Structure 1
Amino acid sequence: MSVGSEENKGTERFLSPDRGRGLRAVRHFAVGELVFACPAYSYVLTVNERGAHCEHCFTR
């Protein structure tokens, strides 16, 4: 399965029978060029930040 993505020009999603889903480049990317970005699924405070930061908005 190969599915191109309008949002991520230069990449394509694929399915490998033995390894599962993946994303690969279909063009050359320059050093430092953003290839893929998405919002974080979850956020977690580090042990050092707990108690010093709000667990909802992360402000001190």
Structure 2
Amino acid sequence: MQSLEQHAVPHRRFLLVEVLLPALAGFEVIAVDEDASNHHVRGLAFDGNLLSDVRAHAMSA
């Protein structure tokens, strides 16, 4: 998918809070029909146990 002129950055980036990285189990970029959107959909999968640990650590800090 090509960037359109109204986009300032011609490449794609995805930002995730660093503290969540240990819980990230998977990542998928889903292409969307260009007639519907000029964006991609990002799907993130998290390990529930690790995500719970990250939350518990954040709550105790």
Please give the range of the TM-score, normalised by the shorter of the 2 chains.
under 0.3
Over alpha carbons, which structure has the higher Rg? Answer: 1
Structure (1/2) with the larger helix percentage = 2
Q: TM-score, normalised by structure 2?
A: 0.24
Q: TM-score, normalised by structure 1?
A: 0.24
Choose between structure 1 and 2 for higher RCO, CA contacts under 8 A separated by at least 6 residues: 2
